[in-house]
Amino acid sequence: MSNPVTLLASRRHTLRSEAIGETFQIDVALPNAWTASSAGPLPVIYVMDANTVFGIAAQAFRFLQNADGLPPALLVGVGYELEGPSRRRSDYGGLRTRDLTPTFDADFHEQVAGRAASGVGPAGGADRFLDFLVEELRPFIAGLYEIDPHDQTLVGSSLGGLFCLHALFTRPGAFQRYVANSPSLWWDERRTFAQEAAFAAAGRDLPGRLFLSVGGEETAEPWAMVRDLERLADTLVGRGYPGLSLTRHVFEGETHTSVIPAALSRGLRTVFA
């Protein structure tokens, strides 16, 4: 006889988004030695793609608190109900593409034609997803836990990293810390660079701490992840945004998937340093 394994001091909630028309699976990891009466208002770390990375993130988060000075915080994983009556596990790719991308990429759509999830809307829903995070999920979490509304961190890899940058450029100040690993800057003819240029032309500041990272093996064309990340970091440094604290890191020898644990650890330590 076997029993299911659960993560210590973690809780699962579901939340229906009116902005998107989707029920999300929300996993929460409490800080070490957390008690409702003594912890005080907690920073919140929102992690995208929780269906695949929440366990890694939660364990890294706890180890970092034990030995590396990460402060007590609430880690919130945002994922999908993939075993329920309306969603299948095979829908995952289509769901994250819908929610984490800022635009519709015709070339990408053509590549995945025939493999898209049924009943899932097209790519380009990042604005609605950002509305969900800020206007629906954040009050939901605040109603359950004592949080610090002025200390919010956004973490994502790949399309999740692209989403982090979209949030930074479209709603600066909504989050105070960003960990954007292997961001898919190739999306829609590298639209993020045009987005940043328009932001800079408006003369606005980018307040916050940003950790940009990529695996050193992510060099294959046409994605050119390392080259694009270096280009974006150089651009941001050149702008001289007064409120932006930027750190970049290339994890030598790591691939698009193997880099994720290293990026979570280094990224959280960096933005909370």
Contacts of 5 (CB under 8 A, 6+ apart): none
Distance separating alpha carbons of residues 59 and 265, to the nearest angstrom:
10
Length of the chain: 273
3-state SS, residue 127? helix
Residue 249 annotated as catalytic:
no
Residue 256 annotated as catalytic:
yes
Q: What is the DSSP string of 149-170?
A: EEEEEEEEETHHHHHHHHHHHH
Question: Which residue of the set 166, 213, 256, 265 is catalytic?
Answer: 256
Residue 140 C-alpha from the chain's centroid = 18
Residue 22 annotated as catalytic:
no
Question: Which residue of the set 158, 184, 213, 265 is catalytic?
Answer: 158
Distance separating alpha carbons of residues 97 and 102, to the nearest angstrom:
9
Question: Which residue of the set 218, 249, 254, 265 is catalytic?
Answer: 218
Active site residues: 158, 218, 256
